[in-house]
């Protein structure tokens, strides 16, 4: 059953035949004979029209029983930043103390409209807001290292101390002179075979890892800032970089455990539950009742479920490995189909990883 009209589906099928990159991310095509789904520019042999159906998102394709194509890697490449966006971000990073105007973008062959749309869709903010956050983040680091406010202000491209101070306080939450001990949370975005993830980290470790389409994500961000008494800014640190590397290895089937530092705030009980989750072996599952018994004889299944639901660090703290007593999959913020995919991925990778471990020993 297609999610589009026949006319639209015919248009998409032609785009598939033409390997038209303009349709990448616009639709996902499921091939009934192989049970895989692709994006428009896939290099694989083209299926017959009667053997395909089209979906608006990769989640719908997965829900309908299709798995990502290994050739075009649809959930990764469809969410990858377009080259113009990458070049715009590169301009910002190479010129951290300069405001990149629309004129500057056009001068470098970049469409300001395309960049604006991408940032709004993927970060829910404008490109110019992204620039301000990036510049203020650099300023915050300089001030924390002892640089004088007036030097930082002018070096960051501001023409007045008052303008710098206003923007700084609006983003960080405190004035430049009072922010030495103010903590910030850095947020970055990464693509995976299951779609995009937001990754947040403090100086101490990862504090959030969630799929970008998760419900109530904005509420999570607000709770996170309140719990850490910190502001979220776009950027990276050693923890986000390490987590990205380890997650890439995990999805390639090359890693069973994670070594990145965690900075998850919660009650003592919640932390105990999260520690138990982290000890569930790769490629296996447990139940809520078994977790409850491990904590104490008085711990209830309901309290375990509630603590499990407050886990903000997907995959690394593997709440996807918890099932009901009858083995049914319930209770996963990223969606049941993702939970199913992760468990199948781990089961298929486990024999290979065990064999590699044996050979290395």
**Is residue 166 pLDDT above 90, yes or no?**
no
Q: How confident is the model at residue 176 (pLDDT cuts 50, 70, 90)?
A: low
Whether the CB-CB separation of 134 and 141 falls below 8 Å is answered with: no
Q: What are phi and psi of 56, to 5 degrees?
A: -75, -25
| Domains identified in the chain and CATH numbers | 6-75 (3.40.10.10), 83-181 (1.10.10.60), 184-246 (3.30.160), 268-360 (1.10.10.10)
Q: Average pLDDT for residues 325-345, to the nearest whole number?
A: 79
Helix H or strand E segment including 67:
strand 67-68
pTM for the full predicted model = 0.71
Phi then psi dihedrals of residue 120, to 5 deg: -65, -40
Give me the pLDDT at residue 353, please: 53
Closest to 46 measured CA to CA, from 69, 79, 23? 69
Predicted local confidence at residue 355, as pLDDT: 52
Q: Tokens 């895989």 map to which residue?
A: 36
Q: Residues 42, 69, 200, 319: which is the catalytic one?
A: 319
pLDDT at 339: 86
pLDDT tier at 356, thresholds 50, 70, 90: very low
- Active site annotation includes 319: yes
Q: Can you give the pLDDT at residue 260?
A: 96
Distance, CA of 16 to CA of 23 (rounded, Å): 8
**Mean pLDDT, the chain, whole residue set:** 83
Name residue 196's beta-bridge partners. 191
């Amino acid at each position: 059953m297609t999610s589009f009209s026949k006319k639209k589906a015919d248009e998409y099928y032609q785009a598939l035949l033409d390997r038209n990159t303009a349709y990448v991310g616009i639709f996902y095509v499921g091939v009934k004979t192989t049970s895989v789904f692709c994006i428009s520019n896939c290099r694989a042999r083209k299926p017959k029209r009667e053997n395909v159906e089209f979906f608006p998102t990769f989640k719908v394709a997965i829900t309908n029983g299709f798995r990502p194509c290994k050739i075009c890697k649809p959930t990764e490449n469809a969410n990858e930043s377009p080259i113009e966006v990458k070049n715009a971000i590169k301009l910002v990073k190479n010129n951290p103390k300069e405001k990149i105007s629309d004129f500057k973008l056009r001068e470098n062959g970049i469409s300001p409209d395309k960049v604006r749309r991408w940032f709004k869709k993927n970060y829910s903010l404008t490109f110019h807001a992204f620039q301000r956050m990036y510049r203020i983040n650099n300023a915050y680091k300089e001030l924390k290292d002892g640089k004088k406010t007036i030097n930082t202000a002018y070096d960051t491209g501001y023409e007045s101390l008052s303008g710098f101070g206003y923007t700084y306080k609006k983003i960080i939450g405190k004035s430049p002179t009072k922010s030495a001990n103010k903590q910030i949370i850095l947020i970055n975005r990464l693509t995976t075979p299951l779609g995009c993830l937001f990754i947040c980290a403090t100086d101490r470790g990862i504090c959030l890892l969630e799929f970008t389409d998760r419900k109530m994500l904005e509420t999570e961000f607000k709770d996170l800032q309140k719990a850490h008494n910190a502001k979220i800014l776009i950027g990276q640190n050693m923890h986000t970089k390490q987590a990205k590397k380890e997650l890439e290895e995990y999805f390639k089937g090359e890693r069973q455990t994670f070594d990145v530092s965690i900075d998850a705030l919660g009650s003592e009980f919640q932390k105990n539950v999260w520690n138990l989750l982290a000890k569930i072996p790769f490629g296996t599952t447990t139940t809520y009742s078994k977790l409850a018994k491990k904590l104490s004889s008085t711990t209830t299944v309901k309290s375990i479920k509630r603590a499990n639901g407050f886990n903000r660090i997907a995959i690394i703290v593997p709440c996807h490995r918890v099932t009901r007593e009858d083995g049914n999959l319930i209770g996963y913020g990223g969606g049941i189909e993702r939970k199913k995919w992760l468990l199948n991925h781990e089961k298929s990778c486990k024999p290979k990883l065990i064999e590699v471990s044996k050979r290395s020993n």
